[in-house]
Chains A and B, each alone.
Chain A
């Protein structure tokens, strides 16, 4: 099953082409690609940069679980989930998910499932930096 899954957490710039090439296959009629990008505002407040930290070993495990679950639930061939760590500036890419499948619906569904689940379960945290301070996203009870 592992040749169907590509998982990565890296301090280097994420590579769209790598994610595309990994899932590309002659048997598939479509590839869905989700690209997260750093937004310049949170609730009208200007963001200067984001700092991503992670419990990396556990995060890799949790991302693999998501990929395995997507392969079980949806009629897809391959899935890549790559996430960045460290400091990212506006417009840079924290996450890329690519999925290939014989028919397009499964790719769309799996891609949505993967990003939604990642945002709930994978131990990665972002700190938003503003001109006048910084805050851990989601940390307020």
Chain B
């Protein structure tokens, strides 16, 4: 299935792009997506403390992704 992944902050520097379209297997969890992305971008393993948002809500590792979901990697925030 198709999935859009957005990168922000340091994760955008690591991926060297702001978003990608991924073709992944049906029923993939956020936890599995993390592993998938860490294989695709090995340097991401040095910054594992990022959160994942699915459709603009923070999502726990057990959330199952659906086709068309907008997924974003949210490294520790530093607004204010």
A interface list, Cβ under 8 A from B: 36, 52-55, 57-59, 61, 83, 94-95, 115, 118-127, 136-139, 141
Among B9, B49, B53, B79, which residue has its beta carbon within 8 angstroms of that of A83? B79
CA–CA, A122 and B8, complex, Å: 12
* Contact A55 B79, beta carbon cutoff 8 Å: no
| Nearest 9 CB-CB pairings of A with B | A124-B79, A125-B9, A137-B78, A58-B56, A138-B76, A139-B10, A138-B78, A136-B10, A119-B80
Cα(A61)–Cα(B76), bound, Å:
17
Bound state CA distance, A115 and B11, in angstroms? 25
Among candidates A58, A119, A136, residue contacting B75 with C-beta atoms closer than 8 Å: A136
Verify A58–B79 contact, CB threshold 8 A. Answer: no
Interface flags, B52-75, vs A, CB<8A=1, else 0? 010010100000000000001011
Smallest distance from the beta carbon of B55 to chain A beta carbons, Å? 9
Main SS of the interface on chain A? mixed
Q: Find chain B residues with CB under 8 A from A59 CB.
A: 79
Contact of B77 among A36, A61, A115, A124 (CB under 8 A): A124
- Report how far A58 CA is from B59 CA in the complex, Å: 13
List residues of B (1-46) whose CB comes within 8 Å of A's CBs: 6, 8-10, 13, 46
Chain A residues with Cβ below 8 Å from B74 are 55, 123
Cross-chain contact A139 with B9 (CB below 8 angstroms): yes
A53 to B58, CA, bound (A): 18
